[in-house]
Structure 1
Amino acid sequence: MAHHRIFGTSFASIYALYVQKVERKDHTKAEVDQVISWLTGYDEAGLQQAIASEVDFETFFAEAPAMNPNAVLIKGVICGHRVEEIEDPLMQKIRYLDKLVDEVARGKKMATILRGSDPTAVRP
């Protein structure tokens, strides 16, 4: 299995770019946090801890409390690749997150982004 450079990249550095991207399109950090929480199960404190400790992407996903089983419903192209066809499990999780953030930036409704989940519901 190839070890991609992104795996060792600090989650905090990419998180800042995600926030910048959505804010340029008049969306919020809270929306980014919401999709991250939906995908990974991190609560606000856990997410802030991951950012503060500057864990890499590999660690961020390895320590994710609970990947959302509906993540498999995320379809489409990101960075020239269909997310549903990416074979490396870690790369697929990273691209799922990229796709969700893109959808926030494009202004999709949160219920659609969260694949039909109630956007106000809090995951355990």
Structure 2
Amino acid sequence: MVISARAAQNQQRLFDSTFASLYPAYVAKAERKARTHEEVDQVIRWLTGYDQAGLEQAIGDERSVEEFFERAPRLNEERLLITGSVCGVKVQEVEDPLMHTIRCLDKLVDELAKGKAMDKVLRRA
């Protein structure tokens, strides 16, 4: 799939933004649906392999989104099982590896906010 120059520019802007700037939006989305920031952290840790201290440090360091995922201790292989649409884009069809991982996190937070059980969100059952 070829993306337009404008889409590529927007994608790069996302990669260059800080993860710390995105994190509050993930938490707010979950909290609006009676979920907690601890659950959001659990989802992020599952996806990235960060422990809680590492996650907090990565947010505090104001790493770019790209650095956040590149420096993740271990991206969970189960992320490849994540399917479905986020903002009209099918996660499984995203070709860029970094964008795919970002979309996976978006999808996980969406599922959390929609009330799915944590075991389902984390692909345990």
TM-score (norm 1): 0.91
Residue 59 of structure 2 corresponds to: 51
Is 1:67 equivalent to 2:102 in the alignment? no
- Percent identical pairs in the alignment equals 56
TM-score (norm 2): 0.90
Runs of 4+ displaced beyond 2 Å: none
Is 1:77 equivalent to 2:85 in the alignment? yes
Residue 41 of structure 2 corresponds to: 33
The residue type paired with residue 66 of structure 2 is E
Structure 1 residue 83: Cα displacement: 0.4
The residue type paired with residue 106 of structure 2 is D
Aligned to 1:34, what secondary structure does the other structure show? Answer: helix
Residue 12 of structure 1 corresponds to: 20
**Which of 82, 100, 103 is 2:108 aligned to?**
100
Structure 1 distance, partners of 2:20, 2:113, is: 19
The residue type paired with residue 9 of structure 1 is S
**Which of 101, 107, 111 is 2:119 aligned to?**
111
Uncovered stretches (5+) of structure 2, i.e. residues with no partner: none
CA RMSD in angstroms comes to 1.3
User: Number of matched residues?
Assistant: 117
